[in-house]
Amino acid sequence: MKNLFVDQTVSQIGEEVRLYGWVGTIRDHKKIVFIDLRDRTGIVQVVGGEEFKVLSTEDVVYIKGLVKKRPEKLVNPKLKTGTIEVEAKELKIISKALPLPIPVQGDGYDIDEERRLKYRYLDIRRPRMTRNLILKSKSTMFIRNYLAELGFLEIETPILTKTTPEGARDFLVPSRLQKGNFYALPQSPQQYKQLLMVAGIERYFQIARCFRDEDPRRDRAYGEFTQLDLEMSFVEQNDIITLAEDLFTSLVKEIFPEKHISQTPWPRLSHKYVMEKYGTDKPDLRKNKADPNELSFSWTIDFPLFSEQSEKDFFYGSGKAKFAPSHHMFTAPHPDDVLLLDKNPLKVRGLQHDMVLNGYEVGGGSIRIHQPEIQKKVFDLIGFNEEQKKQFSHMLEAFGYGVPPHGGIAPGIDRFLFTVLGEPSIREVMAFPASSGGKISVMEAPSPASDGQLKELGIKINS
Ligand code: ASP
């Protein structure tokens, strides 16, 4: 007899089972006591005797018992295990629970979020949160299998690295061995994945953690998030778009069968068209916004390669240039527009593709520049000084040793799930997100460093 998840009991009528879990609701009927035993797969009703009276909700217990079919009129159609119950033969209390600081029943939306984040390990017990994490795990597993089948290699890239700008502020980590120098946490693996193409990997992906120090929003977590980062060599834009479209269409069918995609193939719309027609580059094309199961995907393409540089583009260039990349500085210009780079940069279209779902940008990517002279021109146009060019000289050097044409995309896994599930915030699909103010509440991070640590790093705090 092996341990079972509670939802497996339903097929065990007449069998003795061993179950572990948490005590949910308790219904005391004098001589007999009913409890809902809960684990991450759901709940099962357990019938016990007077020894069950000592239980409190959220105690962790072991139960050995006999699975019995419920009489027809006691069947609970709302429960996966509603056709059976477990008659307890043995009960062990493994650990007692104090009264909880937040309830774990219900959807939890009405509880103060800071409090939910402080007690996230309890918050995740709520079935909605457990479900979200299960769906996330299933989605990434699906992606891994799908891409492996197509010959993609999953490759990790460094977290302690150098700046890879994606339009946000970097997180810096001081180096002990090289005092006064800093690593930057990657805003994405962009440069590494391009270098993997130079290395001949041809099809790469990674379920990658990205770090960006930018203010949180409904659809953006503070600090870090997860992308499906992928890159391919010897491809055109259509190949990347088709791959991502097929992958996400199959994923929705498999993991979210109750959802329906309103238009296939997904419409491909030019930036100019969507801006004129909808006033946004991520239009919500759902036919019926009241239908929670409608998914409306589209592609926005033909973005301008540059926008006019503004204050917020402080991290690009010397601050004197007129142009900032619309996507990032590695995006290739449309081949028909290359000559315009010298004459009228704002008129150049880029080979960028944004994946849009129900009004959210859930992914972005592009065909990359692979010609060192064009890359140098883009660096000049965005106003890089010699120092800044040196920071990216490894890319230009690598492109000198035989570089395949390449491109890719990076859909955000949390962003995609939050949109598909219609959750009110992206934090609802993350296990331990930062709260406002960038705090990881469970751990009370960030926290001060000790004097010894600071000394070793050669850092003095001005307070
Ligand atoms: N690195 C890009 C991003 O994080 C995606 C890409 O161009 O593939 O948005």
Cβ-based burial of 142 (10 A; exposed 0-12, middle 13-18, buried ≥19): middle
Return the ligand 1 atom nearest residue 193 CA.
8
Q: Which residues line ligand 1 (CB under 6 A)?
A: 166, 188, 190, 364-366, 408-410
Pick from 119, 134, 116: nearest CA to 40:
134
Q: Mutate which of 164, 166, 235 to test ligand 1's pocket (most atoms within 8 Å of Cβ)?
A: 166
| 406 alpha carbon – ligand 1 mean position (Å) | 13
Question: Residue 463 has what pLDDT?
Answer: 76
Closest CA to 209 of 192, 183, 188: 188
Nearest to 271 by CA among 260, 262, 280: 280
Distance 157 CA to ligand 1 centre (A): 14
pTM across the whole model? 0.94
Tell me how crowded residue 172 is: count the other CB atoms within 10 A of its CB: 13
Give φ, ψ of 283 to 5 degrees.
-70, 145
| Ligand 1 atom nearest residue 330's Cα | 7
- pLDDT (tens, 9 = 90+) of the chain, 463 residues, equals 688 999 999 999 999 999 999 999 999 998 999 999 999 999 999 999 999 999 999 999 999 999 999 999 999 999 999 999 999 999 999 999 999 999 999 999 999 999 999 999 999 999 999 999 999 999 999 999 999 999 999 999 999 998 777 788 999 999 999 999 999 999 999 999 999 999 999 999 999 999 999 988 889 999 999 999 999 999 999 999 999 999 999 999 999 999 999 999 999 999 999 999 999 999 999 999 999 999 999 999 999 999 987 766 555 555 566 788 999 999 999 999 999 999 999 999 999 999 999 999 999 999 999 999 999 999 999 988 888 888 899 999 999 999 999 999 999 999 999 999 999 999 999 999 998 788 888 888 999 999 999 999 999 999 7
DSSP state of 47: E
Distance from residue 340's CA to the centre of ligand 1 (Å): 24
List the structure tokens of 445: 């991070």
What pLDDT was estimated at residue 384?
Answer: 87
Cα 68 to middle of ligand 1, angstroms: 54
Please choose, from the candidates 297, 322, 298, 318, the residue with its C-alpha nearest in 3D space to the C-alpha of residue 309.
Answer: 322
Contacts from 436-442 at CB under 8 Å and sequence distance 24+? 436/216, 436/222, 438/222, 438/223, 441/114, 441/117, 441/118, 441/120, 442/117, 442/118, 442/119, 442/120, 442/121
**Residue of the nearest CA to atom 1 in ligand 1?**
190
- How many CA atoms are closer than 13 Å to the CA of 112, on its beta-carbon side? 8
Nearest-CA residue for ligand 1 atom 6 is 365
Residue 235's CB: how many other CB atoms inside 10 A? 19
* Cα 230 to ligand 1 centre (Å): 9
From the alpha carbon of 231, which atom of ligand 1 is closest?
8
> Which atom of ligand 1 sits closest to the CA of residue 363?
9
What SS3 class is residue 397? helix
Query: What is the predicted pLDDT for the residue at 167?
Result: 80
List the residue whose alpha carbon is closest to atom 9 of ligand 1: 364
> What atom in ligand 1 is closest to the CA of residue 368?
7
**Cα dist from 73 to 33, 36, 69, 179, 361, whole Å:** 19, 19, 11, 74, 49
CA of 161 to the centre of ligand 1 (A): 17
Cα of 256 from ligand 1 centre, angstroms: 25
Please return the burial class of 137, using the count of CB atoms within 10 Å of its CB with bins 0-12, 13-18 and 19+.
exposed
Residue 448 and residue 432: Cα distance in Å, rounded?
20
Give distance in angstroms: CA of 412 to centre of ligand 1. 10
Residue with CA nearest ligand 1 atom 7 = 365
Ligand 1 center to residue 202 CA distance, Å?
17
Crossing angle between the packed helical segments 127-149 and 413-421, to the nearest 10 degrees: 130
Q: Which ligand 1 atom is nearest residue 229's CA?
A: 8
Task: Report the DSSP beta bridge partners of residue 260.
Answer: 294
